[in-house]
Chain A
């Protein structure tokens, strides 16, 4: 997008890192900081603890994942801070919510014990942990929504581990479509949720996803999409100068290839034989 003046400073709020920080969320922060620095943008990280009373102004807000018990704590904090967070996104702050943070920021979240948690409704999804017999765990390869301006590379790779089943609101757009893995609810083939800048009355980009690993180091195009939205301040996506990504893409491509390969292996063997092999596989670790 033309007409955008490249800023030299941006601010990233890492929400509740004292409670939500499973699954290498710090890696997402480090990746954004380094990729901003490579474009001569100083991205300042502001950790906002769970007992904060205000969220400072920010260009990016990042929320990570936690255990069920901690998500109750998070829900209580969001009762206090949810309005401020919504106001920030309304003004153009880009939001990336991973796993627990994704569930907490939806419209509705029922924990596995049946507790209905208050939610700020920043993401058009509902999550239900009740009656979910199994956790959805494993590596994921998915095809990104075509609406996300990420160039030719349309895949996202990550790892999911969640009990809750998430349902998109009617008309809501998935972040990605599952190729290998479970995704939002293990049924409809969707993964995460995506709202482009300006959609739903808020100017900020919003991404909610179950994918960690962490998400951004192995998916540099998504990191850049978040940065580009932050730079554009709610006016779409700015154009970022290309940087040396070879290491990142090698990791991305190799991961995609390995996950596809093991999924193919699984399909090649009849189910009965595979099940019979399971005890042996678990013993020898393959």
Chain B
């Protein structure tokens, strides 16, 4: 029934308008409405795209998808992308409906088909792959995350393997060669691959004893069950791994990255990311340097992932690298926001590894105040025990600390019982249940021109950013 499509698109637009008025995160509801009236929405709209890239993974999805969209848009038309992070099936429909006309057509002339770049939730891959038929599927990494929702990491590996069975002919699986879970997955499926990873051991982190680091997931060989051994490690369980029995080992990545260090961590004021880094990308055909406006080892991986995705799309990887100069990060991910004459650096944390990476990066930010906001809504993960598995002392040492969120007391206990915090204590610790009140305390504690690092789980980060928006510090998140 042809009337169904305009009805669905119109209803979705009305829903988008209404939810936009009452809620900052209404981005899934329009898609839900559209799908109800027009169940083939994703198949029909997705089928009109020229090239489609899907990004899955635990950490780095939003940033990597943003970088890939930057690369595709660099050459011409901007791709359609779910930048707001609504990454379930209905979120993708919201994005596509927003880009279509009332008759469900994307792009007015037939010769100008648009590309799409979508980040997809770990457990939604099987629900979108058959309809979307992506050209390239990028897997950033697979860490322990939201165990209350996903169960175990092995559950996700099995889900992805099943989803990739239905990958469209001619599609490419781009994955991190340093992640043994992904390497074992890639070995078990029949899809052509392209890999990215670090060139060598990272310079900034000496080999650490896994007995003392709860951030490193134990990963066993799928064939013999023996724990994998490493010659070096990078982020969490990523690194140069091999099975002691020789069943599997890390393969040299097709696209490797060498982090060359920060260019400028402190010179940027106002809107923009917290830092600019230099990275060198190496492929079989040569090397190139990029200066993206994102810093830190996880972001070096994100850059490599984006270049590998570009290569899988038959773009020249070295030209793509150069095109990443000045490319920025995503909202709430090391995002610098000016509030009055203070700077708020907003950092999303959602699991042990992201907290660990933030703790490594935190001291470099030279903030006077650390605001920690821990919520336990389903979008944050209801189980917050992960905060005990990563070091936290570097974030709070010699700073004023403000704790907030529905689980602020868990943070207070986390600080109370950490021997490293006892050795290097904060200047002060205050707990404020209300997020806005906590932000005000933090702003008052920072000196004029001072910096506040806000380490926050998803809903807390969105709440803080919404407050920053009302205070004129930053533009709303694009939908």
Interface size class of A (residues with CB under 8 A): 35 or more
Chain B residues lying within 8 Å of A139, measured Cβ to Cβ, are 382
- The 8 A CB mask of B224-254 against A (1 = contact, 0 = none) is 0101000000000000000000000000000
Q: Which of A250-286 contact B (CB under 8 A)?
A: 250-251, 254-255, 258, 279-280, 282-286
> B29–A34 contact, CB under 8 A?
no
Enumerate chain B residues within 8 angstroms of A279, measured Cβ to Cβ: 32
Inter-chain CA distance A255–B90, complex, in Å, is 33
B382 touches A247 (CB 8 A): no
B103 at interface by CB-CB < 8 Å: no
- Contact with A161, one of B90, B148, B414 (Cβ below 8 angstroms): B148
Q: Nearest residue in A to B216 (C-beta to C-beta)?
A: A18
Q: CB within 8 A of A26: which of B148, B214, B377, B413?
A: B214
Contact of B417 among A30, A67, A213 (CB under 8 A): A30
Q: Decide: B416 and A247 in contact? CB cutoff 8 A.
A: yes
Determine whether the beta carbon of A30 is less than 8 Å from that of B225.
no
- Contacting B at CB under 8 A, from A97-111, are none
Task: Encode A7-44 as 1/0 by CB contact (under 8 A) with B.
Answer: 00000000001110111111100110110000000000
Which residues of the other chain, B, contact A30 by a CB distance below 8 angstroms?
Answer: 388, 417-419
Q: Which residue of B lies closest to A34 (CB)?
A: B417
Whether A217 touches B220, Cβ cut-off 8 Å, given contacts A24-B387, A161-B147, A161-B383, is no
A283 in contact with B419 given A67-B152, A67-B153, A218-B410 (CB within 8 Å): no
Q: Known contacts being A69-B220, A70-B220, A248-B413, is A27 close to B385, with CB within 8 Å?
A: yes
- Contact check, B28 vs A283: say whether CB atoms are below 8 A apart: yes
B38 sits at the interface (CB 8 A) = no
Q: How far is the CB of A282 from chain B (nearest CB, A)?
A: 7
Q: Please judge, given known A-B contacts A68-B154, A283-B28, A286-B377, whether A26 and B389 are in contact too, CB under 8 Å.
A: yes
Q: Are A284 and B385 in contact (CB under 8 A)?
A: no
Q: Mark B6-38, 1 if CB is under 8 A from A, else 0.
A: 000000000000000001011011001000000
B residues less than 8 Å from A24 (CB atoms): 214, 385-389
Partner of A251, one of B144, B148, B413: B413
Residues of A bordering B, CB below 8 Å: 17-19, 21-27, 30-31, 33-34, 47, 49-50, 66-70, 72-73, 135, 137-139, 159, 161, 163, 212-214, 217-218, 247-248, 250-251, 254-255, 258, 279-280, 282-286
**Assembly CA distance A38 to B115 (angstroms):** 62
In the bound complex, do residue B225 and residue A27 qualify as a contact, i.e. CB atoms below 8 Å apart?
no
A34→B419 CA distance, assembly (Å): 8
Complex alpha-carbon distance, A161 and B409, angstroms: 22
Interface residues of B in 379-401 (CB under 8 A from A): 379, 382-389
Q: Residue among A50, A258, A285, A286 with the most chain B CB within 10 A?
A: A285
Tell me whether B383 and A217 are in contact (CB under 8 A). Answer: no
Q: Given A18-B218, A66-B218, A159-B148 in contact, is the A26-B409 Cβ separation under 8 Å?
A: no
Cα distance, A18 to B385, chains bound together (Å): 17
Bound CA–CA A135/B146 (angstroms): 14
- Tell whether A49 pairs with B211 under 8 Å between CB atoms, given A218-B413, A251-B412, A285-B379: yes
B218 contact from A19, A33, A283, Cβ within 8 A: A19
Beyond known contacts A69-B225, A247-B413, A284-B23: 6 more, CB 8 A cutoff: A24-B388, A33-B419, A70-B218, A137-B148, A213-B383, A251-B410
Contact between chains at A21 and B389 (CB < 8 Å): yes
CB-nearest residue of chain B to A217: B413
Determine how close the nearest CB of chain B comes to the CB of A29; give it in whole angstroms.
9
Give the residue name and chain of the B residue nearest to A14 (CB): B211
Instruction: Find the B residue at minimum CB distance from A159.
Output: B383
Q: Shortest distance in angstroms between A148's beta carbon and chain B's nearest beta carbon?
A: 21
Alpha-carbon distance A124/B416, docked complex (angstroms) = 35
In the complex, what's the smallest C-beta–C-beta distance from A196 to chain B, in angstroms? 27
**A217 and B212 form a contact (CB under 8 A):** no
